[in-house]
Amino acid sequence: MTSDLVPEPDPQHIEPTSVDAVAPAAGGDGPAVAADRALTTDDAPGAPIVPGSPPAPERRWLRRTFVVRALGGVSAALAAVVAVPVAGLASAPVGGPLRFPLTAGAIPPTLRTTGFTSLGPLESFPVGQPTLVPATVPVTIAGVQQDAQIAVYVVRPHDQSVLIMDIHCTHMGCPISWSQGAKQFLCPCHGGAFAQDGTRVSGPPPRSLDRYQAVIANQEVWMGPLVEES
Amino acid sequence: MHPMSWLNERLGVGATVRGFLDRPVPANIGWLNTLGSATLFLIIVQIVTGIALALFYVPSADHAYASVQNIDALRFGALVRGIHHWSASALVVLIGLHVLRVFFQAAYKYPREVTWVVGAALFAVVLGFAFTGYLLPWDQKAYWATVVGTNVAGSAPIVGSVVIDLLRGGPALTTESLTRFYGIHVWVLPAVLLIGVAIHLFAVIRQGIAAAPRRTPLVADVPGESQRDRYAREYAAEKHDGHPFYLSLLKDAVVSAVILAVVVALALAVGAPLEAQANPNAVGYVPRPEWYFLDMFQLLWYVSGPAEPLVIFLIGSIGFLVFLLVPFIDRGRKRHPRQRPIATALGTASVLGVLLLTAQGAMAPVASTDVAATVNASTLTVAQQAGLKVFQVQGCAACHRLAGQGGTAGPDLTSVASRLSAAQIQQQITSPRDKMPPYADLAPGDMSNLLDFLSTRK
């Protein structure tokens, strides 16, 4: 357009100096374009790749395009053969359904235990004062059965009832602790508070504390699988 | 024959190296342009010290902590781990400053858009390194910060539980999580980092170093000229008045040397921290993220309710997308910060926001809710002292600050009596109108003592 009226040197046609060949400025695609043309006409010096009379430039261009695309297809196939099992193994631990409600909120429960584990004799848990109990429970991770160290709060609201509470705040998983004065479980991270039975009292947690099934048998407290919310 | 000549006869790179060192760069690039090379320098330091640590580290929940203790006991072990620890923090600072320099100088504009996008992705990779490396010592701080960190990621809508499983290698933070974090930290991220750095540096060399923006450009406008042609003319003029690249390298070397001196000094004087071994049963432990994640941790204070995961997810993903695509959003030709008032204002606001959240997160109290230690009890009556005890026993300090101690979930009570009457305070305690839990069961004597004490807080 106006470049016809104003004779400015076109950067595309500046001869590349040794410096520009290393670090050309924008518009420095000149050499690259030239190189590409050299390849498309395939008149590069040196011994001919294919013996005999060289095919016409147009045919050469077609052949090269075909070979390059075929190589791309082969590479993709090779990559897929390796990538599918690798991605499959790496994602082996993924289990459980997607949670679709956008605001379902908060973290999934920390541990899905299997079977029942004794936490000790019933009389070792005072009524009205939650007790922190370390426990070794069987869990299944990535399909492998193993033991996990966890801690739970055992709560005896009344003489013959027992609740087993996960110690992780349902907001972001910080460890809650029982405050005997406030009669609440308090979270040190963002001020979540839960009542003795695990119900959410205040703060950001979206739901009550996670609970495990609790059974009293032979005067012992047994901890079972996580109680899944419906 | 000189060895270098011998090598050059075989490799033939002498001309390339000389061209690289001698190429003209704009004269007005200065100390701010050393931030990128300092970032690269710290990445190299991290790779080298990380390899040394990997010779001794055992990625297993049973042995990780002991192997880190062992490293600290070895000759130079504590120093190397200290350098790795402090250099990680320095890297986050340097890459952040580098991003800010490029943003405020608008050096991401044509023809350097790809350089920016790859660099922004590298920023995320560096944060990924920080996040995964943090768990490896398997101490309390590492464990609980990662519990919270993975939960934040896992609270994302729809894909949250999958993200948690992928990050932790299962629902809980166990030895599977440790091997996973280790694998990501020493194999996956370095591969991504090296590819990204290669593309980034190639683009930097290919396009040359951007000149610092001028309010009055070196070349005059030509009517009808395309942006491409105009840029080429302007950059050629900048390089015409420029100096050879090797002179800039002197500044780079000075800055890297100063940073390394600071990192080594911190490694020697402070060292890399190591708390007690991770204990998943540690009730009462207060998780704290490392400083560069404090802003996000603090953000969780302000966003709550059923939409919290959605809001956090949207802030995070939209924020990162905008960051990644800056060159395609800010498309004007002007580069000087004063000629881009909107970009400059938004950038400044973002920086201030991050600084503010980080500062608030840093100042939020840790476990120190020992209000009694800071209140001058000698000026209190017996009843008021009993009230202070009630305040302490009831755990009020978990949420309320008083005399500089306590939580920040609720209002600061240091001068509560100047705002509220005793009756109003009692009303708030027994039947709160906001998210505070009601303390209606407080014994009448305790209540009156507590009110008596709080009434002295003016």
Instruction: Give the distance from CA B171 to its chain's centroid.
Output: 26
Interface touch A190/B239, C-beta < 8 Å: no
Using a CB-CB cut-off of 8 Å, the residues of chain B touching A182 are 394-395, 398, 437, 439
CB–CB contact A188 B398 (8 Å): yes
Residue A225 corresponds to which amino acid?
Answer: P
Q: Which one of A98, A177, A191 has the shortest CB-CB distance to B399?
A: A191
Query: B23 CA to chain A: closest CA distance, Å?
Result: 5
Burial A93-116 (b: 16+ CB within 10 A, else e): beeeeebeeeebbbbbbbbbbeeb
Look at residue B95 in the predicted model and tell me its pLDDT: 97
The one-letter amino acid at B178: L
- Rounded to a whole number of angstroms, the CA Rg of chain A reads 35
Cβ contacts of B174 on chain A, cutoff 8 Å: 141, 148
**Shortest CA distance to B321 belongs to which of B166, B117, B183, B172?**
B117
Q: Are B143 and A70 in contact (CB under 8 A)?
A: no
User: Which chain B residue lies closest to A190 (C-alpha atoms)?
Assistant: B301
Whether B437 sits inside 8 A of A22 (CB atoms) is no
Q: What is the pLDDT of residue A5?
A: 43
- Token pair, residue A189, equals 């991270």
Point out the residue among A94, A177, A179 whose CB comes nearest to the CB of B162: A94
Residues of B in contact with A102 (CB under 8 A): 157-158, 310
Residues B318 and B446 in one domain: no
Indicate the residue of B22, B164, B306 with minimum beta-carbon distance to A103. Answer: B306
Nearest one of B314, B364, B361 to B155, comparing CA atoms: B314
What pLDDT is stored for residue B175 in this prediction? Answer: 86
Nearest chain A CA: its distance from B419 CA (Å): 23
Q: How far is B302 from chain A (nearest CA, A)?
A: 9
pLDDT of the residue at A19: 41
Name the residue among A26, A99, A109 with its Cβ closest to that of B111: A26
Do B381 and B425 lie in one domain? The reply is yes
Mean per-residue pLDDT, A39-56? 55
A80/A131 same-domain check: no
Most confident of A146-150, A163-167, A188-192, B268-272: B268-272
Looking at residue B36, what is its pLDDT? 97
Question: In Å, how far is A32's CA from the nearest CA of chain B?
Answer: 12
The count of structural domains within chain A is 2
How many domains are there within chain B? Answer: 2
Whole domain around residue A80: which residue ranges? 2-90
Contact (Cβ atoms closer than 8 angstroms) between residue B430 and residue B440: yes
Q: Best residue in A103, A112, A140, A176 to probe B by mutation, most B CBs within 10 Å?
A: A103
Both A71 and A150 in one domain: the answer is no
Q: What is the pLDDT of residue A67?
A: 93
User: What band does A81 get if pLDDT is binned at 50, 70 and 90?
Assistant: very high
Interface touch B310/A110, C-beta < 8 Å: no
Task: Read off the CATH number of the domain in which A121 is found.
Answer: 2.102.10.10
The answer to whether the beta carbons of residues B300 and A190 sit under 8 Å apart is yes
Nearest to A225 by CA among A115, A145, A128, A137: A115
**Cα–Cα distance measured from residue A61 to residue A174, given in angstroms and rounded to the nearest whole number:** 64
Please give the Cα distance from A6 to B264 (Å, whole number): 58
Share of chain A above pLDDT 90, in %: 14
Q: Which long-range contacts (CB under 8 A, 24 or more apart) does A3-10 make?
A: A3/B225, A3/B229, A6/B222, A6/B225, A8/B222, A8/B225, A8/B229, A8/B233, A10/B229
Domain boundary among B328, B363, B398: B363
Write the CATH number for B254: 1.20.810.10
**Which chain A residue lies closest to B304 (C-alpha atoms)?**
A204
Q: Are residues A54 and A154 in the same domain?
A: no
Contact B388, B372 (CB under 8 A): yes
Tell which of B331, B363, B395 closes a domain: B363
- CA distance linking residue A211 with residue A161, whole number of Å: 14
Let me know whether A133 and A221 are in one domain: yes
Segment A27-49 mean pLDDT: 46
Q: Using CA coordinates, name the residue in chain A closest to B446.
A: A181
Is the same domain home to A62 and A154? no
**SS3 category, A166:** strand
Which one of B363, B386, B405 terminates a domain?
B363
Residues B447 and B318 in one domain: no
Residue A56 has pLDDT above 60, yes or no: yes
**What is the average pLDDT across A146-160?**
82
Asked if B111's CB is within 8 angstroms of A148's CB, the reply is: no
- Tell me whether strands A177-179 and A161-166 are parallel, antiparallel or unpaired: unpaired
Q: Which domain holds residue B386?
A: 371-454
Helices B140-154 and B175-183 sit at what angle, rounded to 10 degrees? 80
Domain assignment present for residue B11? The answer is no
Listed residue (B378, B422, B428) closest to B399, CA to CA: B428
Residues of chain A with C-beta less than 8 angstroms from the C-beta of B161: 96-99, 108
**Cβ contact B300–A172 (<8 Å):** yes
Q: What average pLDDT values come out for chain B (458 residues) when binned by 10 residues? A: 88 90 92 96 97 96 94 96 97 97 96 97 97 94 89 79 84 86 96 98 95 91 90 93 93 96 97 90 76 84 72 86 95 90 94 91 61 73 87 76 72 87 88 74 86 88
Shortest CA distance from A10: residue in chain B: B229
Supply the CATH number for residue B422's domain. 1.10.760.10
Give the containing element (helix H, strand E) for A137. strand A131-141
Mutation for testing the B interface, residue in A1, A147, A202 having most B CBs under 10 Å: A202
pLDDT reading at A4 higher than 50: no
Assign residue A98 a region (left: φ > 0; alpha: ψ between -120 and 50; beta: otherwise): beta
Chains A, B: CB contacts within 8 A come to 225
The beta-carbon neighbor of A18 closest among B19, B158, B284 is B19
Question: What does the pLDDT read at residue A1?
Answer: 39
Q: Among partner residues A11, A111, A182, which is closest to B395 by beta-carbon distance?
A: A182
Assess whether B125 and B263 both reside in one domain. Answer: yes
Tell me, yes or no, whether A81 and A126 share the same domain.
no
Kindly list the residues from chain A whose CB atom is less than 8 angstroms away from the CB atom of residue B308: 105-106, 204, 206
Digit-coded pLDDT (tens) for B358-386: 988 887 655 445 566 677 777 888 888 88
**Which helix (DSSP H) or strand (DSSP E) does residue B71 occupy?**
helix B64-73
Q: Which residues on neighbouring strands pair with residue B139, listed in sequence order?
A: B277
Rounded to the nearest angstrom, the minimum Cα separation between B407 and chain A is: 8
